[in-house]
Amino acid sequence: MTRILAAAALAAFALAACDTVTKGTPAGPIATACEDNLGLGEGVCACIERKAAGDLSDDAYDFLAASLSGDNDRADGLQRDLSVSEATAASMIMVTAPAACMSEG
């Protein structure tokens, strides 16, 4: 019984850890790339991540994450499939969100 409880606790911990690297969370791919490549603070990058996750289609989100992380081949491939409005939305996130997030925090 103790082993079952320990396994259940470990599984719950592992699932919780997985959740911290998903779209829209402070450790999501846009927030991580923002901190690593743009030099913006953790709070600002987490805010940009939330805005991108809430405002962009999945394809536009993936494109922005690839672009910010420097994965140019993936970004180029994704960009080909974006509509004009999706590409515009992804670009506008990086025009408007940093200033908005800095003023929030």
Tell if the pTM clears 0.85, that is, is over it.
Answer: no
Residue 32 has pLDDT above 90, yes or no: yes
Give the span between the Cα atoms of 31 and 49, in whole angstroms: 5
Give the span between the Cα atoms of 78 and 52, in whole angstroms: 16
pLDDT of 3 reads 45
Q: How many Å is the Cα radius of gyration of the chain?
A: 17
Find the mean pLDDT for residues 87-97.
Answer: 95
Find the mean pLDDT for residues 73-83.
Answer: 96
- Name residue 53's amino acid: A
Instruction: Give the residue extent of every domain in the chain.
Output: 21-104
Q: Which two tokens stand for residue 99?
A: 């200033």
pLDDT of 24 reads 65
Q: What average pLDDT is seen over the chain?
A: 82
Interval 34-66: pLDDT, tens: 999 998 999 999 999 999 999 999 999 999 999
